């Protein structure tokens, strides 16, 4: 078992990785494993289009689909982007754009209907962002949301955030902050917490792995499920990074150092659960 970095904050309850995998093994056929993508399964890069999952994590996820009830990716990326990265892994469910899209067992991508009227709004917003934001801002158009990145130009953070919030007010959109990014989304009630809350209704066990503030709602959904059913076993795992700070680790049971270390952790999990 690789060392678990407990982070600068203690877990919210005493739980070792050993104990967690043992309890999971007892319920493996009713267990769901949820993974955030960027910063969790995939190391962060300057260019969002070039990102790929860490190879060890991908191989372990493939093996885990044979061991647990379900494996799912829950991301702010579009399903189409995720499908390219997890091609060939039929046993992996994909939730994209914070759950506005989902795809199960290589069927068709389903889009939340309430979000569809915002397709033209997002196209217009993306064009306007490219025209009005200074050089150095990176605009990522995602059909139902637009991400305004400043990773390679951190001095623009304030200007980009102000511009994004003004546009959100103008167009009636919601704002989601992330790692060196501000994202504009439709005003539709859909987030990672809601996705997880619905997906674990009939599960006996679930893990959620995440690195960013939007993942904390998913942790909360597991806590709520556990509070409602003492037989349910939930585990929240943070993947550490210098940008999010302690917020995610503080809310987690376990903290892992990086996406690469997560690959080692999951490889060990395959052995523990088989």
Residue 104 makes contact with ligand L263DTV3 by CB under 6 A: no
Identify the three-state secondary structure at position 54: coil
Instruction: Give whichever of 252 and 273 is closer to ligand L263DTV3, judged by the CB atom.
Output: 252
Q: What phi-psi label fits residue 191: left (phi over 0), alpha (psi between -120 and 50 degrees) or beta?
A: beta
Q: Is 257 exposed, middle or buried (0-12, 13-18, 19+ CB in 10 A)?
A: middle
Contact between 44 and ligand L263DTV3 (CB under 6 A)? yes
Q: In whole angstroms, how far apart are CA 115 and each of 38, 127, 182, 188, 270?
A: 23, 19, 19, 6, 38
**Smallest distance from ligand L263DTV3 to CB 229, Å:** 27
Secondary structure class of 79 (helix, strand, coil): helix
- In this structure, what are the phi and psi dihedrals at residue 79, rounded to the nearest 5 degrees? -55, -40
Residue number, 29 or 198, with CB nearest to ligand L263DTV3? 198
Contact with ligand L263DTV3 (CB under 6 A) among 30, 83, 143, 149: 149
One residue of 67, 83, 103, 183 binding ligand L263DTV3 per CB under 6 A = 183
Which one of residues 58, 100, 180, 200 is an interface residue with ligand L263DTV3 (CB under 6 A)? 180
Q: Does 76 bind ligand L263DTV3 (CB under 6 A)?
A: yes
For the chain, the first-to-last Cα distance in angstroms comes to 15
User: Which residue's CB is nearer to ligand L263DTV3, number 30 or number 77?
Assistant: 77
Query: Should residue 101 be labelled a site residue for ligand L263DTV3 when binding is judged by CB under 6 A?
Result: no
**Catalytic-residue membership of 191:** no
State which of residues 93, 140, 191, 226 lies at the interface with ligand L263DTV3 (CB under 6 A): 140
Q: How far is CA 42 from each of CA 51, 53, 64, 222, rounded to the nearest angstrom?
A: 7, 4, 17, 23
Which positions lie near ligand L263DTV3, rule CB under 6 A?
36-39, 44-46, 48, 51, 75-77, 140, 147, 149, 151, 178-181, 183, 212
Q: What are the catalytic residues?
A: 36
């Amino acid at each position: 078992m690789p060392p678990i970095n407990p982070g600068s904050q203690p877990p919210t309850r005493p739980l070792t990785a050993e104990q967690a995998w043992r309890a999971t093994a007892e319920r493996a056929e009713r267990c769901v494993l949820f993974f955030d993508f960027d910063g969790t399964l995939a190391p962060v890069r300057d260019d969002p289009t070039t990102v790929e999952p860490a190879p060890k994590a991908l191989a372990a996820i493939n093996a885990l689909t044979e061991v647990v009830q379900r494996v799912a990716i829950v991301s702010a990326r579009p399903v189409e982007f995720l499908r390219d990265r997890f091609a060939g892994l039929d046993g992996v469910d994909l939730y994209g754009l914070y759950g506005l899209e989902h795809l199960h067992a290589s069927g068709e991508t389903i889009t939340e209907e309430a979000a569809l009227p915002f397709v033209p709004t997002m196209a217009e917003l993306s064009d306007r962002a490219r025209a009005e934001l200074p050089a150095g801002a990176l605009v990522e158009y995602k059909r139902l949301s637009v991400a305004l990145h400043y990773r390679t130009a951190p001095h623009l953070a304030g200007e980009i955030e102000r511009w994004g919030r003004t546009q959100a007010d103008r167009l009636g959109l919601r704002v989601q902050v992330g790692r060196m990014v501000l994202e504009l989304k439709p005003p539709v009630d859909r987030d990672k917490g809601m996705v997880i809350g619905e997906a674990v209704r009939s599960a006996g066990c679930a893990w959620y792995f995440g690195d960013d503030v939007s993942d904390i709602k998913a942790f909360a959904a597991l806590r709520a499920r556990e509070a409602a059913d003492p037989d349910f076993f939930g585990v929240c795992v943070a993947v550490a990074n210098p940008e999010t700070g302690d917020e995610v680790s503080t809310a987690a049971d376990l903290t892992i150092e990086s996406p690469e270390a997560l690959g080692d952790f999951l490889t060990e999990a395959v052995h523990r659960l088989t």
